[in-house]
Chain A
Amino acid sequence: MTLASGAAVQRRRNWQAIVTVALLLVVGFLVVLPMVFLVEASLNVGDPLAFPPEAYGLKNYFAIFDEDINVLWNTLVIAVMATVMAILIGFTLAWILTRTNVPGRALLERLMELPYYMTPLVGALAWAVLAGPRSGFVNQLWKGMGFSGDIADIYTHFGIAWVMALFEGTVAFVMISASMKSMDPALEESARVMGASKLRTMLTVTLPLVMPGVLGATLFVFAEMLGSFAAALVIGIPARIYVITTAIWDSTLSYPPDYGRASAMGLALFVVMFGMLTFYRHMIVGGSFATITGKAFRPRPMDMGRMAWVLFAVCCLYVFLAVILPVAALLLTSLQRFATVILSQAEFTWANYQTALSLGPVRTAMANSLMLGFGVATVGVIVMAVLVWIIYRSTLRGRGAIEYLVMFPGAVPRLVFGLALLWAWLNIPIPIYGTLWLLALAYFTVMLPLGVRTLAGVVLQIDKSLEECARVCGAGWGYQMRTVTLPLLKPGILAAWLLIFMACVRELGASVFLMGPNAKVIAPSIVSAFASSGTELTAAMALIQTFTVIVALVILFRVTRGVTRELS
């Protein structure tokens, strides 16, 4: 190697080091600072509104075991049930739509994503209307058929988990199908040639190969379930089933606010999530998941014969339960003067749509949410792709710690992390409190786990040799990222973009505390309508939100048809 080329390599290394260090400093700052405030609040045993705390102690932690153990138990039971159901739903649908020749694939795939476009309250409100005891539509139908008693009761642990799984199943679906799309079908074909049945191929070849994607999705979905709020609010509270998020909601809304209780409960969940992440890392470190290698491949779906129609029916059933039925129930509710499931006493009106559309601040909030979604998803996904590369591909010492770091915001329920963000940013002498800039930074911070998990599932599948090849051929780090890594990551990047965009538009926990009078977003307005203005107006607002988001995405996909081909 000549002296000149040695210097060039050195320059590249410097460049890479500068980007890495800068990125880590920014991300570290965004994540660690709120956590410091959170830990401090959990140890505050004096006046909850005093800052800094007047007295420190562990009282809040002991109180969990004394007063809130049933809340923790409910949370864990529901989260585990919901995660299992969501992953089953997500995996099955992803497999059907990416690995088989099910009819109407493109359309079905679009429909599968629909639940994710709806605000989480939609599902919870709709299923409360559909399967409420005594008067839910399903029970009315049951009694109408001459049976007695109730056939369905949504106000149970299983009911809450069911609603959560039905609507979070889509996240699992998007994350897992991103992995499946990046998988070389030659491996499955080999299994089939060797005589394995389709089911066996799925279980012994497909499943192990997409394991990082599935595990990543499980981890992420479990965290989402622990921090899930909408179903717990709408269904849990009437059932007297309190979970951690509703207990935290109560603690932060009461006066004097019980921030100590909320923070301690949030950090207790953090321990659970930390254990999960360690398990995940242990699993993926042990295996090789590279399915994208130097060998060219074209994803080819398996021919399922007549079974394809059964699989088609499975997809349709999901769309029916998660989209058509809830939207129909909400549509009906939104047209009533006062929400009721007893149709004989219902009075119909358009007034709720008029009210919702006349609420000027709600219109602004919708526009702000869309803008934040586009901005945070676009900038965030690039930063996160680089972060993922640092974590899984660089030789940086302590990169494992970064993976833990970016998972922090997901390991604490969003409502608690939202509070922590509020404390952190109020105490930073940068005047962005009460502006959309703060919401953008907060969204980026809380979306880190979602983006990183989605992208990690795909990065792990890309054989290192492709990047090494680029480097051997003399490409710099930036050139290699631009021409090899990022193009290979494209399906994952697009999936992550979509997930982050939607998560931003639906974001509630951080927004509730960081919104200002002139920087409002839509989800808190909808929850506020639920809390104070009635289900009928909430239904109208939720449907308007869903419709607006779908229209925005359709326009986006049309405009960027070439770039988003992988998604369709």
Chain B
Amino acid sequence: MRLLSAAATAASALVLCSASLMAPAPAHAQAKLCDKPREMDGFKTCADVDKAKAEGAFVLYSTDPEAGQVKLLAAFNKMFPEIKTSYVRLQAGALYAKILSERQAKSYLVDVVQLSDMGMILDFQRRGGFRQYVSPQMAAFKPEYKSKPEGYWTWGSIIMGGIAYNPNNVSAAEAPKKWEDLLDPKWKDAINVKVSNSGLQHGVWYMLKPILGDDYFKKFAEQKPRAFDSYVQQYGRLVDGQDKIIMGAQYSGYIEFKAKGAPLAFVFPETGVPAVPETYGIVSDGPHPNAAELFMDWFLAPVGQKALADALLLHSPRDDVPAPGVGSVPLKDMKLLFPADWNAFEKDRVEFAKSWDRIVGARR
């Protein structure tokens, strides 16, 4: 059986090898789960574990913070010490452009990719960049959390953005409760946001614009918000009193800072909190295909999802994995606003980037 599955893997790899990067996506054959997944310590896998160990290495390209990345990979490496892990961490746009450039030059260095922007994920799938592998964990993920057909990409975590403030500088009474409250002139020059490269910020813009009206962001621009690459800078400025409010504040950042004792409060507006996923998939033509499958099985199982929650304080899309950190709000208690049509979301990217750059003063 193992021989058969190896032959099937080799055949599918050959098919994908022959498909060039720019060629249309290969026909989505409905791959099936292997017949007898192997029982490991805390998860099941269809990967050939011996081959994965013989490959001896695994490479992840991801947008997550370096320290968290190292923790996550260390947890995997602890279970499989024979597999040396390494990673490249860049922001989504730069990471994706790097992958595309590498593939164009037929330089295949990466096994699994994580991107925080669904637009890029769909684009990569269209370009035939993902290799289909149906993990035994697939049943635990809702249909909207994975590719159709399944096995190309799967949501590894969900991030959401609300409103945050520092209770030492803003009282609970005067703190904004609704998204509309952020237009109050008293918050002028006191709000920070993420830069236009952020998938979450795009989600916030895309989901709130139809609900709050086109005028909302025109008025919001008058508040002269400042834009930052990451939530760490955003929360840092709140803690130091340099800004008063974060619009689209990443909840995992709040959990992290709160756990360190920072004076912060988080608001979930009634309208809901825009949410986007961090998505994982196995890259076709990767140098360590068996190790990649083994990693995905481990990562998508509760054991890997808990390791992710510990390392990066991110919410798992799985119902059977508890919320990260201590006392944080679970997904089921949040009103999450997801784009209904990810293709439309992707098309909106360029317009969003230009508009957002103008709002934060990066462009005229």
Contact = CB atoms under 8 A, between A and B. Distances in A.
Given A255-B349, A434-B107, A517-B87, A535 B236 contact: yes
Contacts of B363: 67-68
What's the interface size class on B, roughly?
A: 35 or more
Interface residues of A, number: 61
Contact of A513 (B65, B98, B117): B98
Given A250-B362, A534-B232, A135 B261 contact: no
B332 interface: no
Contact of A426 (B104, B195, B241, B262): B104
A252 interface: yes
A469 interface: no
A33 to B, nearest CB: 14
Given A345-B168, A426-B105, A532-B65, A250 B239 contact: no
A528 B93 contact: no
A358 B311 CA distance: 14
Contacts of B226: 237-238, 240
A382 to B, nearest CB: 31
B101 A533 contact: no
B59 A517 contact: yes
Given A255-B197, A517-B88, A135 B240 contact: yes
A347 interface: yes
Interface in B201-256: 224, 226-230, 232-233, 235-237, 239-242
Interface string A515-529: 111100000010011
Given A433-B107, A531-B230, A240 B224 contact: yes
B96 interface: yes
A355 B260 CA distance: 15
B65 A257 contact: no
Contacts of B70: 358-361
A38 interface: no
Contact of A238 (B102, B230, B242): B242
A206 B94 CA distance: 49
Interface centre among A134, A250, A257 (most CB of B within 10 A): A250
A515 B110 CA distance: 13
Interface stretch (B135-143, B265-273, B316-324, B353-361): B353-361
B342 to A, nearest CB: 14
A70 interface: yes
A427 B105 contact: yes
Contacts of A252: 93-94, 97
25 contacts: A49-B97, A67-B364, A132-B240, A247-B362, A250-B357, A255-B96, A255-B119, A256-B349, A337-B261, A338-B261, A339-B239, A340-B236, A342-B239, A342-B240, A342-B241, A345-B263, A359-B67, A426-B102, A433-B105, A434-B102, A434-B107, A512-B90, A528-B66, A529-B65, A535-B236
Interface of A: 49-51, 66-70, 132-135, 237-238, 240, 242, 246-247, 250, 252-257, 337-342, 345, 347, 355, 358-362, 422-423, 426-427, 431, 433-434, 512-513, 515-518, 525, 528-529, 531-535, 537
The 9 A-B pairs at the shortest CB distance, nearest first, are namely: A532-B65, A426-B105, A255-B93, A240-B361, A534-B232, A517-B86, A337-B260, A253-B93, A531-B229
